[in-house]
Structure 1
């Protein structure tokens, strides 16, 4: 990166062409932002209500007309759901840090990514993370990086498969922040990486390691993705297709036959038809078919969260066991595994091409 300041202190200095009394300015850098879905600040009613209101008011998540949706959301759904969602979060809450597991893991991923990128690019890079809903907010993080001198920013939504309710809304929020800036940094948004060899290698490694520790071999591996309304697929959202391809690539890397690996979708809500099969129903059907031991993983989630630690390990687990299953094995998300960080680093390095020379 071209040196733009004469340093007075680490991280700041005078513009080389400026007069001696010019105030210090940050040294020009490139920022890398890891963006995840979000987290409530706490599990109490009002914290959950604020979080759920922000989440469920997003047009990318629920695209019904406001006149129809907002009265239902504010007057009915948000009078009850904060209690049930709060209880779900309480069951998985990181009490030591007083935060959700998603926040804990995203921070750990960021710390490891910082180490990797600093080794490659030195002080020319600043790494941070943000949440689409809740804190740290996208706006606060992008503004902080701008103040640190980041004239270029790689914005990385941590969703392997592109979805309008996930990747697109994260990017939307970044663009809304830029709209408020007098001097915008250049920005690159990271595309979906569902078929990146390093990502699918990490998925396959996690399955192999889990299988090696089982006392019996599962007769079915279920890849459970967060669901979307079927209408999204028909309107051009590629998420469903990318999920199917992720499962196929994983199965091929593991060398498993087609009949041993299934794709299913979880977290359905609302009255309209969603893509299927629904995980909670599918695992019950597998038990009824005689599958006594199944393994399940969540390739759409970069970090374990309420949908995996509570929904899969409790609700979906119970559905399988009550239908006659005997052993239900959950394979954790990739979280801050080293091979996962290596995969994310490979994706980021591609986007940094031409912006940063390696040290």
Structure 2
């Protein structure tokens, strides 16, 4: 017998965000929203506003737009296209067996999280599961997502229960999906890499000093993944990318690691991003273009970038299982 809640449930899958287009004005608008979030940038608000509008945006908007052009697809932003497809796939799975509507939204950019909430309320959902698509929790983004969704729920004129899914950095389903997708990728390569680089998004050290659990969760993900990989653990490097500004961020840094590997005589590496569930600017450009070029210029010969989960069936199975567990729904095979 199917397990059904007395109140209709809906799922809101949350991603970070992406510009609406590669036009400089759209990229600038996206960066303004992103870098204006006090959870993301912790500085004197007046001083930071001046720095952002007169130094950061004029310098980085055009540069970022050029980078997005290199990864943009005919359908639009890779992150937006993949996130929409992930949500559609999960919606079909849940609609078939339990009639649970699914929406998705971006914290920065479109479609917004508020739009996702409105879509679920229009479908008569009175219980909303917010499922952030970030395996590891960070105070830089998770509270911001939760606050926006909570405010959107409060703004409606209906009584709605909001539940936030727990981080899934150590979920067996997530680790299984990581191991399966990475092992398949490694097995597909013509030559085994001499090193495997696991690159996570970095975070300012000040956040960690304030007891942000993100770094610890990343380390636990890697520790759980290593025994499951068909690859020597002593040839795996755990590091962090995407640092910004002049503050010290958690390391070791991915770019330094890649240069060091090349300098030590390593000529073939593979790189994967366990913290990203969909390909985005950080994976496709920062690693796929920037890090690749850096490695080859330093003497490397082969740089193989593993795709993020995207629509890999192991990830979709894991995502469905984790959502069903949060909603206390049965799994159907």
What TM bracket, shorter-length normalisation?
over 0.9
User: Partners of 2:89 and 2:331 in 1: how far apart?
Assistant: 18
Q: Does 1:105 align with 2:101?
A: no
Q: Is the 8 A contact 2:199 2:273 kept in 1?
A: yes
Q: Kindly tell me the number of residue pairs found equivalent between the two proteins.
A: 329
The answer to which of 308-317 and 247-256 deviates more is 247-256
**Counterpart check, 1:343 vs 2:285:** no
> 1:298 touches 1:333 (CA, 8 Å); kept in 2?
yes
Q: How do 1:75-90 and structure 2 match up within 5 A?
A: 75-90=54-69
1:128-178: CA deviation from partner (whole Å, max 9, x where unpaired):
111111111111210221122100011100001111123222112111212
Residues 188-222 of structure 1: CA deviation (Å, up to 9, x unaligned): 11111011111111111122111212121111111
1:163 aligns with 2:163: no
Deviations 1:283-308 (A, max 9, x none): 01111011111111001111000110
Is the CA contact (8 Å cut-off) linking 1:88 and 1:310 kept in structure 2? yes
- Corresponding residue to 1:117 among 94, 100, 115: 94
Judged with a 3 Å threshold, the aligned counterparts in structure 2 of structure 1 residues 2 and 171 are, in CA distance, closer, same or farther, namely closer
Point out where structure 2 has 5 or more consecutive residues left out of the alignment: none
1:262, 1:44 → 2: CA distance? 36
Distance 2:175 2:59 in 1: 39
Within a 5 Å distance, the mapping from 1:136-151 to structure 2 comes to 136-151=111-126
SS of residue paired to 2:10: strand
Please say if 1:42 is aligned against 2:17. no
Report what 1:6 is aligned to: none
Give the structure-1-normalised TM-score: 0.88
Looking at structure 2, the residues matched to 292 and 2 of structure 1 have their Cα atoms a distance apart, in angstroms, of 55
User: Relative to structure 2, which stretch is displaced further, 271-280 or 207-216?
Assistant: 207-216
- For structure 1, list consecutive stretches of 5 or more residues without a partner in the other structure: 4-27
Shift of 1:358: 7.8
In 1, Cα distance between equivalents of 2:218 and 2:193: 22
Compare 153-162 and 172-181 and name the one that shifted more. Answer: 172-181
2:5 and 2:39 map into 1 onto residues whose CA distance is: 39
Q: 2:44 is matched with which residue: 65, 72, 92?
A: 65
CA distance in 1, matches of 2:210, 2:159: 32
For residue 258 of structure 1, what is the aligned residue in structure 2?
Answer: 233
Kindly indicate whether residue 168 of structure 2 is the aligned counterpart of residue 193 of structure 1.
yes
Matches of 1:248 and 1:129 in 2, distance apart?
30
Q: Let me know the Cα RMSD of the aligned residues.
A: 1.6
1:203 aligns with 2:182: no
- After the TM superposition, list the runs of 4 or more consecutive aligned residues in structure 1 that deviate by more than 3 angstroms: 255-258, 356-359
Cα deviations across residues 62-121 of structure 1 (Å, max 9, x unaligned)?
A: 1111112110001121112111111111111112x2x20001100110111012112320
